[in-house]
Amino acid sequence: MRNRPDRMRRNGRADDQTFGAPERLFRRYTRLHYINGQFSNTGFSFDSPPSVTREKYSEAQDVIFSEADEFANWGVLSFRVADLPTSFPPENPLIRFFPRHVPMEDNFAHSEVWSDAIPATGGYVKPSKQTRKLFRALLSQRCVVEIIATA
């Protein structure tokens, strides 16, 4: 059994909705979706707000931490807050994407990528399948591998 790093525990801390543009957002990936040096957007889902782990309160390896070591062979990729378009798609902006800090007791850095309509509703608005597909592809072009997957 491995020990969870203290930085991952919430320990009564309040959520922090201030994200800097250069801040990285981490996510697990499997080698299947890394094809000839390119990450396939089929490895991303925006069917609901996807979970990420924010750099401000974590390190890349925290994403594959588990007491039971169940993510041992997974990789970690990142994209930056600045990579989330604030108006999308460019030619007919309908949606904006933004990070939201959703801390968990055992993972304070846990966050989600949300989307809202333009003009804003203040809630979560699910993009159309076409918009999601374009956005997933855009993000896959910009993501960077932090830890290489071996499975």
Partner 1 sequence: MPVAEGAGRLDAFEFPPLAENNAVGQAGQALWTRVNDQLGDSVRNSVFWTATILLNRAQMQLAALASLKSNWDTYGASAPNQVALDNGVRLLEHMTPIELSVLNIVPSAEGGVGFCFAVGNRYADIESSNEGDILGVKYVGTDMPVLIETDGSDASIEAALEQVRTHISA
Kindly list the residues in this chain that would bind partner 1 in the complex (CB under 8 A).
27-28, 30, 32-33, 35-38, 40-47, 50-51, 70-71, 74, 90, 129-130, 132-134, 136-138, 141-142
Cβ nearer to partner 1, comparing 125 with 134:
134
**Encoded tokens for 27:** 């996510």
Taking alpha carbons only, the member of 79, 120, 77, 124 closest to residue 100 is: 124
Cβ nearer to partner 1, comparing 17 with 38:
38
CB of 146 to partner 1, least distance (A): 16
CB of 121 to partner 1, least distance (A): 23
Q: Is the peptide bond before 119 cis (omega within 30 degrees of 0)?
A: yes
SS3 state at 114: strand
For residue 22, which amino acid is it?
Answer: P
Cβ nearer to partner 1, comparing 18 with 96:
96
CB of 14 to partner 1, least distance (A): 25
Pairing of strands 95-101, 110-117: antiparallel
CB of 19 closer than 8 Å to CB of 54: yes
Cβ nearer to partner 1, comparing 13 with 136:
136
Beta-carbon contacts of residue 97 (< 8 Å; ≥ 6 apart): 84, 85, 86, 88, 113, 114, 115, 135
CB of 33 to partner 1, least distance (A): 6
Cβ nearer to partner 1, comparing 82 with 120:
82
CB of 120 to partner 1, least distance (A): 24
